[in-house]
Amino acid sequence: MKANASPMSVADYCSALQEKKIIVNSDYQRKDGLWTAPARSFFIESILLEYPIPKLFVYAKLDLKTKGVIKEIVDGQQRSQALMMFYENKLILSKNLETEELRGMRYNKLSEEWQTKFLSYQLPVDQFAGVPENEVREAFRRMNANNVPLNAEEQRNARYQGDFKWFINGLAEVFKESLLSIGVLSRRDMIRMTDLRLYAEIVLTMDEGFITVKGAQLDRIYKKYNAGFEQADELNEKIKYGIEFVLHHEILHDDVLLRMHVFQSLVLAAIAVRFGGDFGDKAEVDYNEMNAEIVAHNFPIETLISSLQEPEDFPALTKFVGASSEATNTGAARAIRFLYFKQALKNLV
């Protein structure tokens, strides 16, 4: 059994939906409305920018009432709903999209060039025809059974569709090439969405301080700001500053500083030096004696780098080296790294 490729333009697909020539088969689908407005906007932006999207699957069958062929959507209800809402001017694109000229736009407000791109986009549609419905169900079951298991970040990205998720995705989009070029991220990291954890942990720290980070803590902040994220603009400015600070100082591009957990500490330190913040103040209070020693020694960034390269030559930095190489996600290790980097970065500002 196989599904035949039957690509359709968005214009033809939406017209067929309006005419009920393509309908939803609720047996295969989840309830309408699962996608949030930001998710729909991101999908439409992908169409307008002509990015490839996952295939839609339909099942062509004879309708005895109309004596014609109708096509049931086997996989792709949410995508179809988003297409129709935009096609019928019922969807306003998010003001947080990366493409500035698409922000806040309905279809009928787009330029003719954008409208043409939308309507002419070729949707990848595969069609089952001439086979019993039970075989279509079995094919669908097998397609889902063969999916690669999602890792924690992919599951989180699928589960939450609110403002916070799209804020994190926006940061990832802005910095993906820069962090790839200096070696913080790999292509695999981006494919499996590991980069999203980097940004989420930075926000989590700014929100709750230096706590031990596991999946439950990340789930908590995604859930906390799923319905609304009023701090988005403020945190966007600060996080972008922190990342750009590291990008603009080549001395911070040494391999030992580009491990993801160390890079994260550098970014937070840069933010604290420039903007201050409760998360930094609390770390100084919680580790008061150690912070006093750090300030007194005032180790420059070159010395911190050397200690990570040749730890045995720097016994005075044993705690810093340990915090950078052992149990690196614990609250204590994260705070200690941060305090050392914060003091060192003051000389670079």
Same domain flag for 95 and 239: no
Angle at 41 between CA 53 and CA 91, to 5 degrees: 120
d(CA 137, CA 59): 10
Record the tokens describing residue 283, joined without a space. Answer: 């770390």
User: Of the ranges 223-232, 266-275, 323-332, which is most confident?
Assistant: 266-275
Q: Is the pLDDT of residue 32 over 50?
A: no
What's the pLDDT at 149? 66
pLDDT band of 252, cuts 50, 70, 90: very high
Does the pTM surpass 0.85? The reply is no
Whose CA is closest to 324, among 282, 268, 274, 266? Answer: 266
For 86-122, the pLDDT digits (tens) are 999 999 998 878 899 999 999 999 999 999 999 999 9
For 125-183, the pLDDT digits (tens) are 999 988 888 888 777 777 666 556 678 888 888 888 889 999 999 999 999 999 999 99
Residue 75: Cβ-neighbour burial (10 angstroms; 0-12, 13-18, 19+): buried
Same domain flag for 127 and 71: yes
More confident residue, 61 or 337: 337
**Percent of the chain surpassing pLDDT 70:** 95
Task: Among 112, 147, 182, identify where a domain stops.
Answer: 147
Same domain flag for 76 and 158: no
| Mean pLDDT calculated for residue range 238-263 | 97
What's the pLDDT at 212? 95
Whose CA is closest to 194, among 245, 247, 249, 264? Answer: 264
What's the pLDDT at 12? 97
What's the pLDDT at 96? 79
Same domain flag for 186 and 331: yes
| Mean pLDDT calculated for residue range 19-34 | 71
Same domain flag for 115 and 169: no
What's the pLDDT at 27? 67
For 295-316, the pLDDT digits (tens) are 999 999 999 999 999 999 999 9
Same domain flag for 197 and 308: yes
> What total of structural domains would you count in the chain?
2
d(CA 169, CA 66): 45
What's the pLDDT at 33? 46
Same domain flag for 124 and 218: no
Same domain flag for 18 and 138: yes
For residue 62, the enclosing domain spans 4-147
Same domain flag for 171 and 53: no
Task: Among 90, 124, 147, identify where a domain stops.
Answer: 147
Same domain flag for 116 and 198: no
